Structure 1
Amino acid sequence: MIRVLHTGDWHIGQTLRGYSREHEHALVFDALVTLVAEREVDALVMAGDVFDSQNPSGEAQRQFYELLVRLHRARPGMTIVVTAGNHDAAGRLEAPRALLDAIGVHVVGNVRRPGGAIDLSRHLVPILKDGVVAGHVLGVSYPTAACLPGLAAGRVRDEAGSPIVRAVRDLYAALHEAARPELAGLPYLVTGHLHVAGGLESEGAERRILVGGEHAVPPDVFPSDADYVALGHLHRAQGVGRPIVRYSGSLIPLSATELAYRHGVSFVTIGDGPARSEHVVIDRPVPFLRLPDTGDMPLGELGDRLAALDLDPELPLEARPFLQIRLSRDGLAASHRAEVDRIAEGFPVRVVDVRVASVEGIVPDLVQAGVPTVRLVERDPEDLFRLAFARAHGIDPGPAHLDIFHRARAGA
């Protein structure tokens, strides 16, 4: 049996409305180090978006490398696999590879094909247990255009379906085929950093990331032989499509839309039957509150509600709760945000999101049903096509309709 800690989307160096998250990252990383020791973890898999920026600050990089050393000291025999996400500069992440290999850290960046063949040594990482290879991790980072086979040359353009999805499928197939001779029937874990269709995303927090304006791939792009697929990119912990295909979610809420998430990591056991996963919640190091708890309120109530929180006025800035405020529209002045800031200034809170109730009668059906709003530019074109087709014809589009849609889209 192999014990794996699956995590992702750390976004080290992130700021929220100008407020640093360094203090929160330090505390959740403490929890991560404790977990690997308590759970006797054999492999830690980080599924992308180590940093929030492709040009992270020196302080963000220091926090990352110090964490890797602490994880190694907590479990010297543990294999650590770190993959690049869309927020990371893969080359920068891979640069200290020779040093990181010495402490069991394997960093996976862009796909390389010297002489046309995939350099498997950069992707297939053995999991050692008591000095013996007990399993493998096939590490795959965010698939850039350069990583996708045949896409640049247009070889997938004339085929049915999405050329981007087909290129991602081909990438995983090629990596799996190259890895197959090395697997020797041992437990096998695959990673990915992308949006898998059916996954629930948080409004405004996760970018639509695949090239060509597409962002979602079906769960069957991953090898069917894999015991578990460790995903990154979506910040909500969730399974997608198959029980073994899972997002661990982020360690802390990265936007106000993630207030209700139960952030943490996935603890996975493989090698003794079907993979088993457990979502381990990590306590939120700083409260993230919503005023009011439900519905909205007049601006005039804000001061009383802040006072009712009964917070210690001496709280240091980094420990002050983040706050989302929901205001009713009635009688609200255009300068309401400045008034919110003026009122909140007298309390130990950090206001990061102020929302005004939508005008009744013009809110889309999905919003009235409680689904978070998403800007049109963030909607998947296929989702919009399915919605329009169903409204026009009263039935969902079939495979033939979707085939025509994807052909038209590919030629656009």
Structure 2
Amino acid sequence: MALKILHTADWHIGQSLNGWSRTYEHQQFFKELEELIERHEVDALVVAGDVFDNQNPSADATQMLYEALARFREKRPHLVTVLTAGNHDPAGRVEAPGVLFQKIGVQAVGMVRRQDGLLDLSHHLVPLKDSAGAVKAYVLALPFPRATDLPGLSFSSSEEGSPVVRAVAELYEAAVQQAREQIGEMPLIATGHLHVAGGLESEGAERRILIGGEHAMPWEQFPDDLTYVALGHLHKPQKVGKETIRYSGSPFPLSVTEQHYKHGVNLLSFSDAGVLSIERLALSRPVPFHRLKGDGGLLLEELVPALDALELDGNLPVEQQPFVHVDLRPQVSAGGLKAEVDQILAEYPVRSAGVSVLRPKQQEVVSAEAESLIRLSEIQPDELFKSAFERVHGMEPEAKHLDYFYRAIAEAEVE
């Protein structure tokens, strides 16, 4: 009998966008995930980190998670869910409901546990059974690796390369070797919440997470005898290096840079002979997300016609109203571009996802020769700050941002 597994990640329950709650979208996502679990007769659900959006999730966020996990189990009474913590998650709180989770088939792994120097496989190695009760594969559940999870980490080593990447690779190598000693040649799926080199980031959406700024692990350093690597952290669905190392991606756009992504989950199927096939299952988008940018950015007078062209439904409740991000070209505005855009958007049944000011490419590209002629001492600190802020956020800093900057400068001078 075939074994079917759903790989998903980066739910970010509790997230808000520009101050707007995403609760409705998460509710709709969980309903659809529940339907997929039932329709495809799924035996196991693997969640590769960033279940929550922050280290202190609200009571509503945790309740939403628990209710969803319970409903999944009701649809498939033998379903096993493997839930691992990401860099956004509170590791201890992810594991806290352990005894209750066991009642609904959930194995939550928030941190790396060891006994006598070895990985505690009772915590990290999870058997996956088909509907007849036969074990067909295992999950090696590893969360986001924090410094305390890497006992071999040393920055004093004379070896070449990043000590962080090396320590993470050693963690996986040792864990897989230990698991193989127990399960033999059975299919083994490992989870990972980290940036694998070659994976494409969503600008501004994901933090560079490995310790010391070393955040990219080469995909070749995952042991070859892993059947599949279920990754989380990067929100763009993608495979890295080979077919069996994949990010499932976020369930819906968590930022404007994800507006064009094709969100979904990965369905893994093991035949009776143990042969793996991978299918991408698309997710519907609970709330439309529009990016209005025209040709190189809109002028203010072009925004109203662009909004009218969307043919918006004025009867939708607020939580179902579309998100709209506006890209503007540089232009003169007495009242401030962002304030005027917000005023216009307030007249429409939409929610603002932000405003960016696009800069002409010829202004963004500076030759190395020209750049070398600019002496750092000739540039005022606030000019450097303004330039960096515009590069990162696509708009000029507001008065409050400059105020924070000047305060920081004043505090530094006092010290």
TM-score normalised over the length of structure 1: 0.86
Report how far residue 296 of structure 1 moved.
1.6
Q: Which amino acid aligns with 2:319?
A: E
The C-alpha deviation readout for 1:247-266, integer Å capped at 9, x for no partner, is: 00010110011111001111
The C-alpha deviation readout for 1:106-165, integer Å capped at 9, x for no partner, is: 0112112233222111110000222222110000100000111311xx277222211011
Instruction: From the superposition, tell whether residues 195 and 136 of structure 1 become closer, same or farther in structure 2 (CA, over 3 Å).
Output: same
Equivalent residue, structure 1, for 2:187? 187
The C-alpha deviation readout for 1:211-239, integer Å capped at 9, x for no partner, is: 01111000122221111110000011100
CA distance in 2, matches of 1:125, 1:376: 47
CA distance in 1, matches of 2:39, 2:294: 35
Q: Is the 8 Å Cα contact of residues 108 and 139 (structure 1) preserved in structure 2?
A: yes
1:57-206 correspondence runs (5 A)? 57-129=58-130, 130-151=132-153, 154=154, 157-206=157-206
Equivalent residue, structure 2, for 1:357? 358
* Mapped pair 1:270 → 2:302: no
Equivalent residue, structure 1, for 2:412? none
Equivalent residue, structure 1, for 2:247? 247
1:237-316 correspondence runs (5 A)? 237-270=237-270, 272=273, 274-292=275-293, 294-316=295-317
State the aligned residue count: 369
Q: Is the 8 Å Cα contact of residues 206 and 233 (structure 2) preserved in structure 1?
A: yes
Report how far residue 309 of structure 1 moved.
1.8
CA distance in 2, matches of 1:133, 1:356: 55
Equivalent residue, structure 2, for 1:384? none
CA distance in 2, matches of 1:162, 1:98: 39
Q: Is the 8 Å Cα contact of residues 156 and 167 (structure 1) preserved in structure 2?
A: no
CA distance in 2, matches of 1:171, 1:237: 25
Instruction: From the superposition, tell whether residues 364 and 124 of structure 1 become closer, same or farther in structure 2 (CA, over 3 Å).
Output: farther
Report how far residue 333 of structure 1 moved.
4.7
CA distance in 2, matches of 1:104, 1:156: 43
Q: Which deviates the most, 310-319 or 11-20?
A: 310-319
Q: Is the 8 Å Cα contact of residues 187 and 274 (structure 2) preserved in structure 1?
A: no
Equivalent residue, structure 1, for 2:217? 217
Report how far residue 48 of structure 1 moved.
0.3
Instruction: From the superposition, tell whether residues 142 and 377 of structure 1 become closer, same or farther in structure 2 (CA, over 3 Å).
Output: farther
Report how far residue 177 of structure 1 moved.
1.7
Q: What is the SS of the residue equivalent to 2:4?
A: strand
Percent identity at matched positions? Answer: 50
* Mapped pair 1:328 → 2:346: no
Q: Which amino acid aligns with 1:40?
A: E
Q: What is the SS of the residue equivalent to 1:223?
A: coil
CA distance in 2, matches of 1:83, 1:249: 15
Equivalent residue, structure 2, for 1:26? 27
TM-score normalised over the length of structure 2: 0.85
Equivalent residue, structure 2, for 1:51? 52
Q: What is the SS of the residue equivalent to 1:362?
A: helix
Q: Which amino acid aligns with 1:140?
A: L
Q: Which deviates the most, 326-335 or 11-20?
A: 326-335
Q: Which deviates the most, 136-145 or 326-335?
A: 326-335
CA distance in 2, matches of 1:260, 1:317: 22
CA distance in 2, matches of 1:202, 1:360: 20
CA distance in 1, matches of 2:360, 2:269: 49
Q: Is the 8 Å Cα contact of residues 192 and 231 (structure 2) preserved in structure 1?
A: yes
Report how far residue 310 of structure 1 moved.
2.0
Q: Is the 8 Å Cα contact of residues 3 and 129 (structure 2) preserved in structure 1?
A: no
Unmatched runs of 5 consecutive residues or more in structure 1? 366-373, 379-412
